[in-house]
Amino acid sequence: MSAVLGAIVLILLLIFVLQNLGHVNVSFAGANGRIPLGVALLLSAVAGALIVAVPGSARIVQLRRANRSARRALSRST
């Protein structure tokens, strides 16, 4: 089921990129380039997802460690 869903999402992304082939100028951190609009939007969405996912993952790891320490302390005291 997840493979079918992944294939559908991939097809939708491909359609999105192919419908937005007009080139745009992109400037970032001193680098300049000309790329298709669909690719620029897709790259910015991926970058945004990574910006959210990395700190979120770090916080989840932090909370799991705290939970594990609290459980160990609780089991030692009983």
The mean per-residue pLDDT over the stretch 62-77 comes to 89
How far, CA to CA in Å, does 73 sit from each of 4, 62, 68, 69, 78?
Answer: 45, 17, 9, 6, 9
CA of residue 45 relative to chain centroid, distance: 7
Is the pTM here over 0.85, yes or no? no
78: confidence class by pLDDT, cuts 50, 70, 90:
low
pLDDT at residue number 41? 87
- What is the token pair recorded at 51? 């910006």
Residues 13/14/18/22 CA torsion (nearest 10 deg): 50
pLDDT at residue number 64? 94
| pLDDT tens digits, one per residue of 16-69 | 888 888 898 988 888 888 988 888 888 888 899 999 999 999 999 999 999 999
Neighbour count for residue 38 (Cβ, 10 Å)? 19
